[in-house]
A and B are shown apart, each in its own frame.
Chain A
Amino acid sequence: MAEKTFVNCTAGGPIRVHVEDGRITKVRPLVFDETDAPSWTIEVDGKKYTPPRKACVATFTLTERARVYSKDRILYPMKRVDFDPKGAPGSTGPGGRNAQNRGKSPYVRISWEEAFDLVAGEMKRIRETYGPEAITSRCSSHHNWGNVGYRTGAWARFFNLIGFTDILDNPDSWEGWHWGATHAYGFYWRLGNPEHYDMLEDTLRYTDLIIHWGNDADSTHGIYGGNESALWRYWLKEKGIRQIIIDPYFNYTGAAVGDKWISYRPGTTGALALGIAYVWITEGTYDKDYVASKTVGFEEFKKYVLGEEDGIPKTPEWAAAETDVPARTIIALARDWASHRTCLAGGTKGGEGGHCRQAYATEHNRLMVLLQAMQGLGKPGVSIWGTANGPPYNHTLDFPGYASGINFNLMASKPIQNPVKQRLYRLLVPEAILDPPIEWMGEGFCGGSLEQQFTKFVYPLPGHSEVKMFYRYGGAFLSTMTETNRWVRMYQSPKLEFVVNQDCWFSTETRLADVILPACTNLERNDISEYASSGGYSLHASGSANHRIIIYQQKCIEPLGESKSDYDIFCGLAERLGVLDEYTEGNTMEDWIEKMFYKSDLPKYIDFEEFKTKGYFLVPQIPDYKPTPALRWFYEGRPCDTPDFANPKRGTDKAHELGTYSGKIEFVSQSLLAHTPDDDERAPLPRYRVSWEGHHSELAKKYPLALISPHPRFTFHTHHDSHVEWLSEIPGHRMPKDGYDYWIARINPVDAQARGIRQGDVVRLYNDRASVLCIAHVTERARPGVVHSYEGSAKYDPLEPGKPGTTDRGGCVNMLTPGRLMSKNVPGMAPNSCLIEIERWEA
């Protein structure tokens, strides 16, 4: 039994994979060897800080062996038994398409030949009958990892080549920062997240207090950075830097390093921010020079805070009534903050705090920026930093991220662009299919300009066909989007004449398709990538890891069953559609990987064959590294000197300005004033707005509990969860009862007792939108009145299959969340504005 090892990468870090007899036997964190470049060292006050010589990967990353061999793997192409492509659109009964049975009827195995012919045949028919825009498709974030083999590689090239109605993603992890904070401090090119450069050293050196406001970096990992930054927060704690947790749930970061927990009523965080501003204004404890020279509109804000505008002074007592945080605590927090150099870990990159996904979250996230502006944002130790990105970083080696556009275009002799102008918007896909026409404002990821947020869209676009075919690819939206019974209803509509699902695992949406295509995982094929690197609108995101590691993702085992690589699947379809040569340009996947290597700066450092054989390259540190802390340039009035090359004002005579219209921090947003001056929900001046689904709502009488559903700790969205049985034995993830692994709902003992609920009871979470079964974990970590349950269940298990709205036993709590958008001009999702009731479930 000869053991071989391979290097690969995941959404939570690089791994060494051991294989014996063609079977994976171990998945380990990548451990560096003596030939790899040395790690960085930060020296502060005589103490040296240096990271471990290994990748500190995410928990779910270590489950790859179980995930590859999961009982949920899709091993063969399949067709729904009562789907007949010869049937006319809308046909039912024998020989029909029977769309109404999606989610109900079983599947039959078919050959790849049959599957390719069927899918390509339907694509041809639909394109000829209605035009290319009648096909839509969307991918996941990130059931696999790799720059060319799946998402923005193989998938994106195929669909952009043939033309399709693309679905614009909403920035689901940082909505309020994107649609709100950009109008206060710019950074639209980073989708509302501020730059993070050298924040680890700056915070170690200068900060006294960290306020984790809705920030749970230990769970959200700086997105793709695994558990790399956990050690940083212990360094910060042991340096004597206090860490306060503001969250309705005492989250994992709080459990690890929190010194104090302040819990507020969900939906009222803007009031808390205003109460703090009131203390600073009335006590004069804000940076007046900074406000005068680096911000606009403060006087108007001051009037609003003091009540001169609406007759309501935003006193701590007023804030206390809204937030249920005692006024004295608000006053003490405000004074503590103002009298220390404070880092606001506001739930941005590295936190993705749940408060940015609630009704009117734009206002709250703008207030986060404005509070730090009042304390001199950019001053040593005074920052907005999620504590999960920003170690010493070598930005000089250029290597594309997964989101550096349609990645094949970087290497292809003929780049391709989607010829179809029509778009859908992810949050509104069900409405678009079931009840068109629809319209919305805002382009989804508005990384090119602030103006993109004001672009108006209609669907169908005049002169364009409605969508007739949905090619769903990787992952599942039923437990990541909102009010997701809408999606079940959509799938059962005959208006979708044909539905394909291509994935590695059966997940919540897979069994709503007509044809299921089995893709292999990225451990079963080659690819190339960088650890934690997004590229695109998250420039230098690989700074969420301690080391920059570029990986030749080595194929470890043969594809399981009859699964194929995504590239091979799209080649099979491209051949039948007569576009194979354009799709591949004669290249194998290995050719594309090699081309990406030569397109990057890697050849300056390592030979291709050596890289391919070793499997990774650890990027060395810059000799005599000089930190350029984030926003220090702005504070000091200098041109931007950080490596944020995406900053559009760099190298211009405005290089010392922010990306707002005024170039300053805007209490009164000039961009909102220019585009939507009459919007009272995202007004030029941010105000506290009572949630459209919160404790003041009429609905609260019927559904008195607030459900919050943040990003999960032990699975990346839906991509691991129930596919990996090991995870069900982590009591913080799922809990087994009577042979079934239930998703967890966390509830305070007070609320549990009032409902006769005990630890380990199966409970039903319900409102007018849905009904979901979970298992109760009774805990003091949940604020009274709050139910905490993560998004990301991979299991949709309706008690009556095929019937939308029936009780789901799998744990898709997103079915309960409102489909309503954040505000009238803001197309963000607001799952954390959700009222429910909960009861013991007697089966």
Chain B
Amino acid sequence: MTRYGMVINVAHCIGCYNCFIACKDEHCEIDHLPYAAAQPLRGQTWMRVIETERGRYPKVKVDYTAIPCMHCDKPLCVEVAGDGSVYRRPDGIVIVDPEKAKGRRDIVSSCPYRVIYWNEEKQLPQKCTLCAHLLDAGWKQPRCAEACPTNAIVFGDLDDPESEVSKLLSAGRVEVLHPEYGLGEKVWYLGLPKNFVAGAVVFGDTDQCGAGVTVTLEGEGMTASTVTDVYGDFEFEGLPKDASYTVRISSPGYQEVVIPVRTNVSVYLGDVVLAKA
């Protein structure tokens, strides 16, 4: 058996949008029946790319997350459609039938990932097919994966333990975008942007970068520690959202600074000036 899956490595995505454009090249104004009617020239992005900006000037991080249909094991679109107008193939690809699904606007809103688009002209819900028509014709991967210059989109057979995608999955660091939906998504991610807490330590007496200063982060049942680099910069990356912590900055001969933070978003504390003890 072949079951398809995809791992998208956000940490290797340069935001070039090659996947986005290759998808448009395959599907815009070209039918691939029986899996997909032509995507209109404008308005649908079956491979959406979301830019995430974290932090604030001058500590900014930018990530790009490519979001196709998740081809869930338990797809809500299939459930809502009810009549087979959306169906799951044995290889796991979820297809919106371009004939049967006509007029079914409710299918668009069934998807919590919002990756089903409405074609006003054709009165048709439409979405990513993982280029099923190409896979059926013997292609090894969909257009988005082929176009990726950094191998950030890895596609393959989940039932083949030797496939690159299986190896990435068994390495255990992948996650789905919204595990709380519990849909059995077949698109996993590496390196999804979380929250960070960062700052720049300055020695108040000399106005020099506070290099080599110990900074600890406590809270949510954990303690992490780091040492500032030559620029006085410190950073705790990969923190959950809406968590509360205490940042403690201490250096011999200086007064300790304690700052409470909450990761509603990533937190850049800016310059933290240490006063002489």
Please give the residue numbers on chain A whose beta carbons come within 8 Å of chain B beta carbons, in ascending order: 25-29, 31, 52, 54, 56-57, 59, 62-63, 65-66, 218, 226-228, 230-231, 234, 250, 252, 254-256, 260-263, 327-329, 331-333, 335-336, 714, 725-732, 748, 779-784
In the complex, A333→B202 CA distance in Å? Answer: 15
Interface contact A780-B55, CB-CB below 8 Å: yes
Contact A781 B60 (CB under 8 A): yes
Q: How far is the CA of A807 from the CA of B61 in the complex (A)?
A: 35
Known A230-B16, A335-B230, A726-B21; contact A328-B207, beta-carbon cutoff 8 A = yes
The stretch that binds A, out of B111-119, B141-149, B177-185, B246-254, is B141-149
- A selection of 16 A-B contacts at a CB cut-off of 8 Å is A26-B25, A26-B26, A28-B22, A52-B149, A59-B18, A62-B25, A228-B149, A231-B150, A260-B233, A261-B58, A263-B58, A328-B207, A332-B211, A726-B25, A729-B20, A781-B62
Q: Which residues of A contact B45 (CB under 8 A)?
A: 729
Query: CB distance B22 to A62 under 8 Å?
Result: yes
What is the distance, in angstroms, from B209's C-beta to the closest C-beta of chain A?
5
B20 touches A730 (CB 8 A): yes
Interface membership of B156, Cβ < 8 A: no
Question: Chain B 120-159, CB within 8 Å of chain A: the 1/0 string?
Answer: 0000000000000000000000010011011100000000
In Å, the complex CA distance between A28 and B26 comes to: 9
Alpha-carbon distance A254/B61, docked complex (angstroms): 9
Query: Which residues of the partner chain B approach A256 to less than 8 Å between Cβ atoms?
Result: 13-15
A729 adjacent to B42 (CB under 8 Å): yes
Q: Which residues 24-83 of B sit at the A interface, judged by CB distance below 8 A?
A: 24-26, 28, 30, 41-42, 45, 49, 51, 53, 55-64
Q: B62 contacts which of A27, A230, A255, A783 (Cβ < 8 Å)? A: A255
Produce 1/0 per residue, B172-215, CB < 8 A to A.
00000000000000000000000000000010000111010000
Cβ of A783: which chain B residues have Cβ within 8 Å of it? 57-58
Question: How far apart sit A559 and B49, CA to CA, in the bound complex (Å)?
Answer: 34
Given A227-B14, A781-B53, A784-B57, is A29 in contact with B202 using a C-beta cutoff of 8 Å? no
Chain B residues bordering chain A, tally (CB within 8 A): 46
Q: Which of B22, B57, B230, B233 contacts A780 (CB 8 A)?
A: B57
- The interface centre, meaning the residue of A230, A254, A781 with most chain B CB atoms within 10 A of its CB, is A230
Verify A59–B21 contact, CB threshold 8 A.
yes
Output the least CB separation between B215 and chain A (Å): 16
Q: Are A250 and B232 interface neighbours, CB within 8 A?
A: no
B87 on interface, CB distance cutoff 8 Å: no
Residue of A nearest to B48 (CB): A729
Q: Which residue of A lies closest to B11 (CB)?
A: A234
Query: In the complex, are the beta carbons of B24 and A66 less than 8 A apart?
Result: yes
* Chain B residues with CB under 8 A of A57: 18, 147, 149
Flag if B15 contacts A29 (CB, 8 Å).
no
B25 interface neighbour in A66, A725, A732, Cβ under 8 Å? A66
Assess whether A261 is in contact with B59, with CB atoms less than 8 Å apart.
yes
**Which residue from chain A places its CB closest to the CB of B21 in the assembled complex?**
A62
Residue B88 is within 8 A (CB to CB) of chain A in the complex: no
Contact yes or no, A227 B18, CB < 8 A: yes
- Please report the C-alpha to C-alpha distance between residue A256 and residue B9 in the assembled complex, in whole angstroms: 12
* Min C-beta distance of B129 to chain A, whole Å: 15
- Min CB distance A781 to B, Å, is 6
Residues of B near A218 (CB, < 8 A) are 14, 16
Q: Does B12 contact A (CB under 8 A)?
A: yes
Partner of B17, one of A59, A254, A333, A781: A59
Contact across chains for B14 and A230 when beta carbons are under 8 A apart: yes
CB neighbours (8 Å) of B207 from chain A are 327-328
CA distance A226 to B59 in the complex (A): 29
Beta-carbon nearest neighbor of A71 in chain B: B41
Residues of A within 8 A of B149 (CB): 52, 56-57, 226-228, 230-231
Task: Tell whether, in the assembled complex, residue B55 and residue A65 are in contact, meaning their CB atoms are under 8 Å apart.
Answer: no
| Residues in chain A near residue B28, CB distance under 8 A | 66, 726
Q: Considering only CB atoms, which chain A residue lies closest to B24 in the complex?
A: A726
User: What's the Cα separation between A815 and B146 when bound, in Å?
Assistant: 39
A29 touches B12 (CB 8 A): no
Q: Are A332 and B230 in contact (CB under 8 A)?
A: yes
Complexed CA–CA distance, A234 and B16 (Å): 14
Q: Is A29 in contact with B21, judged by CB distance below 8 angstroms?
A: no
Residues of A within 8 A of B60 (CB): 250, 261, 780-781
| Complex contacts, A727 vs chain B, CB 8 Å | 21
B45 to chain A, nearest CB (A): 6
Chain B residues, Cβ within 8 Å of A56: 149-150
**Contact between A331 and B26, CB atoms less than 8 A apart:** no
Having A28-B22, A56-B150, A729-B42, one finds 7 other A-B pairs with CB under 8 Å, namely A28-B25, A28-B146, A29-B147, A234-B150, A250-B60, A252-B14, A335-B230
Chain B residues whose C-beta falls within 8 Å of the C-beta of A230 in the assembled complex: 14, 16, 149-150
Complex Cα–Cα for A728 and B63 (A): 20
* A327: B residues at CB distance < 8 A: 207
Given the complex of chains A and B, what is the CA–CA distance between A59 and B209 in angstroms? 40
Interface centre among B41, B49, B62 (most CB of A within 10 A): B62
The CA of A255 and the CA of B64, in the complex, are separated in Å by 9
Which one of A63, A227, A331, A333 contacts B16 once the chains associate, using CB atoms below 8 Å?
A227
Contact B231 A260 (CB under 8 A): yes
A246 to chain B, nearest CB (A): 11
- Chain B residue nearest to A333 in the complex (CB): B231
Q: Is the CB of B209 within 8 A of A328?
A: yes
Within 8 Å CB of A62, what residues of B? 18, 21-22, 25, 147
- CA distance in complex: A725, B24 (Å): 10
Q: Name A27's closest neighbour in chain B (CB-CB).
A: B25
With A63-B21, A227-B14, A230-B149: A332-B58 Cβ-Cβ less than 8 Å: no
Residues of A within 8 A of B41 (CB): 725
Alpha-carbon separation in the docked complex, A254 to B62 (Å): 8
Q: Which of A63, A262, A714, A730 has the most CB of B within 10 A?
A: A730
Of chain A, the residue at the smallest CB distance from B50 is A731
A31–B17 contact, CB under 8 A? no
Docked pose: A782 CA to B231 CA in angstroms: 21
How near does chain B come to A607, taking the closest CB pair, in angstroms? 29
Task: Tell me the complex Cα distance, A782–B45, Å.
Answer: 27
Complex interface: chain B residues within 8 A of A228 (CB): 149
A34 to chain B, nearest CB (A): 14
User: Within 8 Å CB of A748, what residues of B?
Assistant: 57
Q: A-B pairs with the 6 shortest C-beta distances?
A: A56-B149, A227-B149, A255-B62, A256-B14, A62-B21, A332-B209
For the complex, give the distance between the alpha carbons of A59 and B45 in Å: 16
Contacts of B58 in A (CB 8 A): 261-263, 783
Contact status A255-B146, CB under 8 Å: no
Residue numbers in B under 8 Å from A336 (CB-CB): 230-231
Give the one of B42, B147, B207 with max A CB within 10 A. Answer: B147
Bound together, the chains give a CA A727 to CA B55 distance in angstroms of 27
B61's closest neighbor in chain A, by CB?
A255
Contact at B53–A780, with CB atoms within 8 Å?
Answer: yes
Nearest Cβ on chain A to B232's Cβ, whole angstroms: 7
A448 to chain B, nearest CB (A): 36
> Quick one: given A729-B45, A780-B53, are A328 and B24 in contact (CB under 8 Å)?
no
Please report the C-alpha to C-alpha distance between residue A230 and residue B13 in the assembled complex, in whole angstroms: 9
Using Cβ atoms and an 8 Å threshold, which residues of chain B touch A333? 231
Closest Cβ–Cβ distance, residue B35 to chain A (whole Å): 15
A806 to B153, CA, bound (A): 46
Q: How far is the CA of A725 from the CA of B233 in the complex (A)?
A: 42
Q: Which residues of B contact A66 (CB under 8 A)?
A: 24-25, 28
In the bound complex, residues from chain B placing their C-beta under 8 Å from that of A263 are 57-58
Task: Give the chain B neighbours of A728 by CB distance below 8 A.
Answer: 42
Bound Cα distance from A335 to B209, whole angstroms: 12
Cβ-defined contact, B202 with A65, below 8 A? no
Query: What distance in Å separates the Cβ of B187 from its nearest Cβ neighbour in chain A?
Result: 21
Interchain nearest-CB distance for A24 vs B (Å): 9
Separation of A724 and B20 alpha carbons in the complex (Å) = 13
Within the complex, the shortest CB–CB distance from A266 to chain B, in Å, comes to 15
Q: How far is the CA of A62 from the CA of B151 in the complex (A)?
A: 17
Taking CB atoms, residues of chain A closer than 8 Å to B57 are: 263, 748, 780-784
Residues of A within 8 Å of B231, CB to CB, are 260, 329, 332-333, 336
